[in-house]
Amino acid sequence: MGYGLLTRSIDLASAHTHTHTHTLFTATMTDNNLPTLADADICLSDSQLEVLKKQYIREGEYVTEQTRFNYAWGLIKSKNRREQTQGVLLLTEIYREVPDRRRECLFYLAVGHFRLGNYNDARKFNESLLEFEPNNSQAYALRQQIDDRVAKEGYIGMAIVGTVAAVGTIILTSLLKKK
């Protein structure tokens, strides 16, 4: 059984005393009960994340795995790097402590590390998911995104190194001509 968060839209009571609810998202589901990669990459608003945070804090030392996962998921989807890192840490705790939740955690750990630019870790978690589920289309899509980003950043890195080398050569040549 997976997290309810991943199988239907979420209605969370707001932090106010009213019975007003917030629907955080409705994911496009696949046969693997994980949201599509595009859905996993959509950022939450500050108010949506605040709802998850208040629930997490309200439960205190008796926080449920579902609430911890929901909050970690929200943090991963944040625009804030510090919050994304906190989400990865929470998911890592859940992964270690709750073996039957590892599948969901692997995907979101891969997404979280990808969003943080930790491509080696993203690849490691994603490949672990593919070992368990060799036909997981979301994991294959994420693998492609990781490979594309690594290639793109590699090209950018090579361009920077090439530019620095060219500038260095020009400076060295001009210095040698002056002598």
What pLDDT is stored for residue 123 in this prediction?
95
List, for the chain, all residue ranges whose pLDDT scores fall below the cut of 70.
Answer: 1-37, 40, 154-169, 172, 179
Produce one character per residue of 138-153: b if its CB has 16 or more CB atoms within 10 Å, e if not: bbebbbebbeeeeeee
Range of the domain at 163: 4-178
- Rounded CA gap, 76 and 89, in Å? 10
- Rounded CA gap, 139 and 78, in Å? 21
What pLDDT is stored for residue 43 in this prediction?
85
Structure tokens given for 175: 């210095």
Structure tokens given for 67: 């609430």
* Domain count within the chain: 1
Q: What CATH number has the domain bearing residue 78?
A: 1.25.40.10
Structure tokens given for 145: 């995104």
State the number of CA atoms in the 13 A half-sphere of 136 facing the CB. Answer: 24
Secondary structure in 3-state letters for 7-35: CCCCEEECCCCCCCEEECCCCCECCCCCE
- Rounded CA gap, 150 and 156, in Å? 10
Amino acid at 132: F
Task: Please state, in angstroms and as integers, the Cα–Cα distance from residue 41 to each residue in 18, 36, 91, 157, following that order.
Answer: 31, 9, 16, 25
Overall pTM surpassing 0.85 (yes/no): no
pLDDT digits (tens, 9 = 90+) for 83-97: 999 999 999 999 999
